[in-house]
Structure 1
Amino acid sequence: MSNVDLLMQNARLRDEIEPYMDESVYLVDLDRMTVDSENEFLHSLLAWERAPVLPIANWFEPELVLAPHHEFEDEPLSIRLHQVIGRLYEKNILLEYTSHLSDRQLYCMIARDILPAQEKKVQLNDTFLRWQCIDIVEDEESWLRFYATDVERDAWHQETGLRLPPQQLPPFARRLPQDL
């Protein structure tokens, strides 16, 4: 794209973003960006502002509905779980911190917490919704035990003065799709 085209695109994007402008946009130093980078930034802002808020299940056509977990034996449930994880990834939804959960627990979490969650459906190829499958505040011990780095564990210990749980490998290590 030529410089003139980039500047024309920039002017159009600035006009389109104007109704959504607030002080948060001014926290980004647009003067330090190239015109191309600024255009990408403005495009992502517009995508965010215009994105509908929908239950994640409704991001799929047809709506993604999971059969109750008790209808499955372990092996078929595991196969279905990995199919669902793949479908979520197709919509740029990444699951993080899942290895402390059994397949059945993760399947239930997806059905109970993730699919009904109201989220902005931002349709940009390089934008991911990251769903942490552990509440670091509510389940601090599991996070410290299975996921926290040595630096994070040290910081927690220094801050709280409490004894750290021993580090362990998570009991249900699984390979999940990740962004590149």
Structure 2
Amino acid sequence: MDMSETSRPMIDEVDLMIDNARLRDELEPYRDDSIDDSSMGRMPLKTENEYLSSILAWERAPALPIRDWFNPPLHIPPPESLGGETLSAILRQTIERLRSQAIVLTCTDHLSDRELYRLIYRDILPCCEKKMDAAGNQLEYRCVADTETWLTYYADAVERRRFQEEHQVELPAARKPRYPRNLP
């Protein structure tokens, strides 16, 4: 048996322990209960290091208006300055640009193109969010302003029943959204 084969797992474990100590040191200024989670003691060291790395990346990520996530910043014309076809075309381009930065819009089918464009212009683009450049991260923006809209258009039968049981209220009638979209 080659000595290097038996010593490699030991070296890997030592490397993981060194990385863990470094990550914990770097996280010290941000220390809170999420770092001291008791379940971390049950995690494999590699998984714990990935978790600590993600917390560190979150803490260090800049909070920027979403429009500034783009280079150059994403500025779109005010909704009232656009006609129907032009607005729809710019809306499609804007949604694609948002998707390019891993910003996903959900629950949009109850909104007309103009209403969705106005929401993006007024609420999404100026909104400050942490910009994480880690693979697999995405920002989901649910375009539902209230529970009644969600219950009417998006909640399935189980979610509707659960909500009714928890809140003891009459539910709005379930309806199909008026503007079905196939968003990226």
Fold shared per TM-score above 0.5: yes
Structure 1 gap ranges (5+): none
What is the match of residue 85 of structure 2?
A: 75
What is the match of residue 164 of structure 1?
A: 171
Larger Rg computed on CA atoms:
2
What is the match of residue 151 of structure 2?
A: 144
CA distance in 2, matches of 1:65, 1:46: 31
Secondary structure of the residue aligned to 2:141 is: strand
CA contact (8 A) 2:67 2:126 kept: yes
CA distance in 1, matches of 2:35, 2:96: 34
Secondary structure of the residue aligned to 1:29 is: helix
Q: Percent identity?
A: 47
Secondary structure of the residue aligned to 2:97 is: helix
User: CA offsets per residue over residues 75-122 of structure 1, 9 Å max, x none?
Assistant: 232221121112112222111211111111111100100111111222
1:24 to 1:6, Cα distance in 2 relative to 1, 3 A: closer
1:28 to 1:84, Cα distance in 2 relative to 1, 3 A: farther
Residue 11 of structure 1 aligns with an amino acid whose one-letter code is A
Residue 110 of structure 2 aligns with an amino acid whose one-letter code is H
Structure 2 gap ranges (5+): 1-10
CA contact (8 A) 2:23 2:53 kept: yes
1:2 to 1:82, Cα distance in 2 relative to 1, 3 A: farther
Of the three residues 101, 108, 116, the one matched with 1:98 is: 108
CA distance in 2, matches of 1:5, 1:76: 56
The within-5 A match list for 1:44-55 is 44-55=54-65
CA distance in 1, matches of 2:63, 2:38: 25
CA distance in 1, matches of 2:29, 2:128: 24
